[in-house]
Amino acid sequence: MTSFQELQRRRAAESERIAISLARQKGERRSTIKGGETTVAWVKENLCIGCDQCTIVCDDSAIDLYSKEMASPLMNVPSNRKAKIIRDACTGCRLCVLSCPTDAITMIDR
């Protein structure tokens, strides 16, 4: 019978394999997204769900969240958060694009 320690060892190995795979995929995808000093991130407001992922990964404090009233009165919340890029602080690194679960961020020319 498989021991608990063996299961833990397999789980740790699998976790490492997934982490390496995701890092490789992100690296490959990043190379396909335009970026750099001549570009700046831009948020499509209607796609943003205010999840905060982009602000966490941005090392340059170039993203703020602001509150916006929901369009639908059926949603029982007074406001919803949206991300906003601070253009001057954005270095064009593309990390926020990779982190966004709804593909709300694109890189545009400055």
Applying CB under 6 A, which residues contact ligand SF4? Answer: 41, 43, 48-54, 57-58, 60, 62-63, 83, 85, 90-96, 99-100, 102, 104-105
The residue among 58, 62, 48 whose CA lies nearest residue 96 is: 58
Q: Which is nearer to ligand SF4, 14 or 37 (CB)?
A: 37
The CA distance from 59 to 48, in Å, is 20
Residue 64 Cβ vs ligand SF4, minimum distance, rounded to whole Å: 10
Residue owning tokens 């991300």: 83
Q: Which is nearer to ligand SF4, 7 or 33 (CB)?
A: 33
Tell me the HSE value of 82 on the side-chain side, using a 13 A CA sphere.
15
- 76 contact partners, CB below 8 Å, separation of at least 6: none
Q: Which is nearer to ligand SF4, 15 or 102 (CB)?
A: 102
The CA distance from 84 to 48, in Å, is 10
Q: Which is nearer to ligand SF4, 26 or 91 (CB)?
A: 91
Residue 61 Cβ vs ligand SF4, minimum distance, rounded to whole Å: 8
